[in-house]
């Protein structure tokens, strides 16, 4: 960042950005801005580095004030005027532009003198409350969160922290850092790791569940399957990992391609289980919901890595990949529409049942042989069969509440590119039986096709004829409808 109070030209003029935010508010949307207080550009021509001719007006002097990996300057959070500058920056965006909150970038780098570099956090409290913790930075974050929430009670703050700092998402009044949410960054890394190192028949069900649920009690997280990192040049999106070059040749609707069929099925399952188990909120990066086939590549010149001296080739300033192909999801001729429709139904399922942040979560089965995961989130029962070939009839799954259930969402619906083996249109009722099963007081028997995610809801809240959201079988707007 060079200008902390200036709007990027990518967002239009200041008035155009304000108009966009106003329109988002009219539609009932919150708008958060990515705020970078972890470091600043070392560019002294148009940034604040050497602003008064010295290196210490805003930053630490010497090596302490330089981030060797990012080639940027590091703030001196113990300086009274630096704190005033950064706090006024927080208030400026909320006051002037009416943003609804912030995603604080690079918080792990702020909180530790080692900046989290070459550091594997194990959860030992000595890693968080020792001499390597930058107390000035932590105090600044506490003051910033306290000021934001005091002046703007409805504002939301999300911190990008990979260390697992205790009390990161507890109120300042409790001695916490004060964030509302922590980004659960380990989930995206896990999906990339297992896709890169093994095929799905070797995926560990317990390993997946552990990563999705490994967060501190009482501290809310934002889960996501992939982020901007996976969509930028040099990495691959989940869709690309699953389908690779076949995305260029096998996405025409009406044709069959085994690689594409597998990829679409797993793409839907990954998003389903991540949204349901990964945290108290869910994040998507633009275009990834429908499996955008290409990366984003901003115009780049040739450069060198500041830490290693390695040559990094640019793209000649090309704008060719500096866009998203929204037309792909809208095309009736391509299979991207199936992933897009499923993602829309999944989001509306949360609006109806509020399962993203439902307090009740219980994983009753992580079967490594059957490759099946069964869990409850709120009133819903999720059954995911990751097995590449085996389907299971009359498969008994545990549940908490007795009564009748129906299919409310199935990734196997034809409108989602599935085979209709399990569909809301069957309008079948699944009645529970009393008796302990998988540590649950009730159980029911269901059909679990391979590579399919099926969500069951109480029958009273299901209506297979309601097509207000294609493929979703919710009665009316659901019991906990949230605009």
Positions marked catalytic? 105, 160
Rounded to 10°, the helix 205-213/258-277 angle is 40
Angle at 94 between CA 91 and CA 97, to 5 degrees: 125
Residue 343, CA distances (Å) to 57, 73, 191 in order: 48, 40, 18
Q: Are 275 and 223 in contact (CB under 8 A)?
A: yes
Q: Are 438 and 364 in contact (CB under 8 A)?
A: yes
Kind of pairing between the strands at 221-223 and 181-184: parallel
Q: Which residues contact 185 (CB under 8 A, 6 or more apart)?
A: 160, 162, 227
How far is the C-alpha of 341 from the C-alpha of 330, rounded, in Å?
Answer: 10
Q: Which residues contact 451 (CB under 8 A, 6 or more apart)?
A: 200, 262, 265, 266, 269, 385, 386, 387, 388
Per-residue burial over 401-425, b if 16 or more Cβ lie within 10 Å, else e, is eeeebbbbbbbbbebbbbeebbbbe
How far is the C-alpha of 169 from the C-alpha of 38, rounded, in Å?
Answer: 18
Name the strand (E) or helix (H) holding 383.
Answer: strand 380-385
């Amino acid at each position: 960042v060079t200008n902390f109070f200036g709007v990027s030209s990518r967002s239009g003029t200041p008035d155009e950005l304000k108009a966009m935010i106003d329109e988002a508010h009219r539609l009932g949307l919150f708008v958060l801005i990515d705020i970078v207080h972890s470091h600043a550009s070392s560019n002294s021509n148009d940034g604040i580095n050497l602003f008064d001719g010295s290196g210490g007006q805003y930053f630490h002097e010497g090596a302490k004030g330089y981030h060797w990996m990012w080639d940027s300057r590091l703030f001196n959070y113990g300086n009274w005027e630096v704190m005033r500058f950064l706090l006024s920056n927080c208030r400026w965006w909320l006051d002037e532009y009416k943003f609804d909150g912030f995603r604080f970038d690079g918080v792990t780098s702020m909180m530790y003198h080692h900046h989290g570099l070459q550091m594997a956090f194990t959860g030992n409290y000595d890693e968080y409350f020792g001499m390597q913790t930058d107390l000035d930075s932590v105090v600044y974050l506490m003051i910033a969160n306290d000021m934001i929430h005091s002046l703007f009670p409805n504002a939301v703050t999300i911190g990008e922290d990979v260390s697992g700092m205790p009390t990161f998402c507890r109120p300042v009044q409790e001695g916490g850092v004060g964030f509302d949410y922590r980004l659960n960054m380990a989930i995206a890394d896990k999906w990339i790791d297992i896709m890169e190192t093994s095929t799905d028949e070797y995926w560990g069900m317990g390993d997946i569940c552990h990563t999705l649920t490994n967060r501190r009690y009482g501290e809310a997280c934002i889960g996501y399957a992939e982020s901007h990192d996976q969509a930028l040049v040099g990495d691959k999106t989940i869709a690309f990992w699953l389908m690779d070059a076949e995305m260029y040749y096998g996405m025409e609707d009406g044709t069959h391609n085994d690689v594409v069929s597998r990829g679409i099925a797993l793409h839907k399952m990954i998003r389903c289980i991540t949204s349901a188990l990964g945290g108290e909120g869910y994040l998507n990066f633009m275009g990834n919901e429908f499996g955008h086939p290409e990366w984003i590549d901003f115009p780049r010149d040739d450069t060198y890595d500041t830490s290693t001296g390695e040559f990094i080739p640019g793209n000649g300033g090309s704008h060719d990949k500096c866009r998203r192909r929204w037309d792909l999801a809208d095309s009736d001729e391509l299979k991207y529409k199936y992933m897009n429709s499923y993602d829309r139904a999944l989001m509306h399922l949360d609006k109806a049942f509020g399962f993203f942040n439902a307090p009740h979560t219980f994983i009753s089965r992580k079967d490594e042989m059957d490759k099946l995961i069964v869990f409850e989130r709120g009133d819903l029962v999720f059954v995911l069969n990751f097995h590449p070939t085996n389907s299971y009839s009359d498969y008994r799954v545990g549940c908490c509440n007795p009564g009748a259930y129906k299919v409310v969402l199935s990734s196997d619906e034809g409108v989602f590119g599935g085979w209709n083996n399990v569909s809301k249109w069957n309008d079948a009722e699944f009645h529970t039986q009393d008796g302990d099963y998988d540590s649950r007081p009730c159980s029911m028997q269901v059909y679990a096709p391979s590579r399919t995610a099926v969500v069951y809801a109480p029958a009273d809240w299901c209506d297979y004829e309601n097509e207000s959201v294609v493929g979703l079988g919710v009665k009316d707007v659901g019991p906990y409808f949230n605009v």
